[in-house]
Amino acid sequence: MTSVPSHSRGKTAPHPPGVKISIITPSLNQGPHIAECIGSVGGDGASVEHIVVDGGSTDSTLGVLRASPSIRWVSEPDRGQSHAINKGLAMATGDILAYLCADDLYEPGALEKVRAAFAGNPGTDVVHGDFFFLEAGGQKRLKRSGPFTPGRLAKGNFLGQPAVWWRRGVYGKFGGFDESLHFCMDHEYWLRIAAGTRWHYIAEPLASCRLHAGAKTSRQLAAAWREAAQMLTREKFRLRPWWDYWNMLVWGRHHYRAKRWWFSR
């Protein structure tokens, strides 16, 4: 694991009784969005620890980070998003872990609901909930994830990554994210931990996933679909991933364009 760089900012307050949540935010040139992300977490350093791992942004991001005393942060070149997440996980001190991209948001009260779910279900390893797709015009489109089963996950990633949290023991047992993956690292991680963990579903929207032209997946849809097919093939799901890849390659752009047009009317 990566050690904490000497120029990381902020101090961790004393750990109060109860469950501490650590949120990792990987970031690169997300100046227009990162302040809203930080505000949605509302980290206090004690009950909620927010760690931003920036890849060396050249926009307004560093100004936002310097003006946010409640967070810990580091800015230096990295090997991509998965590497940044793993760096943050190595720095984290919380009992519950998650990552929230710099252009995504938590819904009001989300962390309190997550904390209560873990407290009320001591045998639960992972908590997940519903989420919104946040369109460029500000419209929100609700996505119901539904209860977790490994079989559903094998057919496709139905989980909203910003709306998933896991206990530190999961990280201790399964490690961090696959740094060879740049788009579907979350899907691979959920598959890897699925058989050895117990999941709890909160049937409420807990986060918003922002859709915008500058998002990595939006800019590189074909590469994202191909990486997912390669990952699923590696995980022994052989035929369907490539069928889905070719289907999305032919129809996916039209499908997403039509959906965005419909919801922006």
Q: Tell me, yes or no, whether 91 and 62 share the same domain.
A: yes
Q: What is residue 127's three-state secondary structure?
A: strand
Amino acid (one-letter) located at 111: L
Neighbouring residues of 240: CB distance < 8 A, sequence distance ≥ 6: 155, 232
Is residue 182 predicted with pLDDT exceeding 90? Answer: yes
**Is there a contact between 26 and 102 (Cβ–Cβ < 8 Å)?**
yes
Q: Tell me, yes or no, whether 261 and 136 share the same domain.
A: no
Q: Tell me, yes or no, whether 149 and 230 share the same domain.
A: no
Confidence bin at 12 (pLDDT 50/70/90): very low
Q: Tell me, yes or no, whether 122 and 236 share the same domain.
A: no
* Mean local confidence (pLDDT), 198-218: 83
Q: Tell me, yes or no, whether 130 and 83 share the same domain.
A: yes
Q: Which residue among 171, 192, 213 closes a domain? A: 213
Residue 188 structural domain: 21-213
* Mean local confidence (pLDDT), 117-146: 94
Q: Tell me, yes or no, whether 176 and 242 share the same domain.
A: no
Is residue 50 predicted with pLDDT exceeding 90? Answer: yes
pLDDT value for 234: 78
Is residue 188 predicted with pLDDT exceeding 90? Answer: yes
Q: Tell me, yes or no, whether 168 and 79 share the same domain.
A: yes
> Would 150 be classed as within a structural domain?
yes
**Is there a contact between 50 and 71 (Cβ–Cβ < 8 Å)?**
yes
| Number of domains observed in the structure of the chain | 2
* pLDDT tens by residue, 238-259: 556 555 655 666 655 555 565 5
Q: Tell me, yes or no, whether 32 and 92 share the same domain.
A: yes
* pLDDT tens by residue, 120-132: 999 999 999 999 9
* pLDDT tens by residue, 222-240: 777 778 878 887 766 655 6
Q: Chain-wide mean pLDDT for the chain?
A: 85
Q: Tell me, yes or no, whether 161 and 50 share the same domain.
A: yes
Instruction: Identify the CATH number of the domain in which residue 96 sits.
Output: 3.90.550.10
pLDDT value for 214: 56
**Would the pTM of this model clear 0.85, i.e. be above it?**
no
**Is there a contact between 175 and 85 (Cβ–Cβ < 8 Å)?**
no
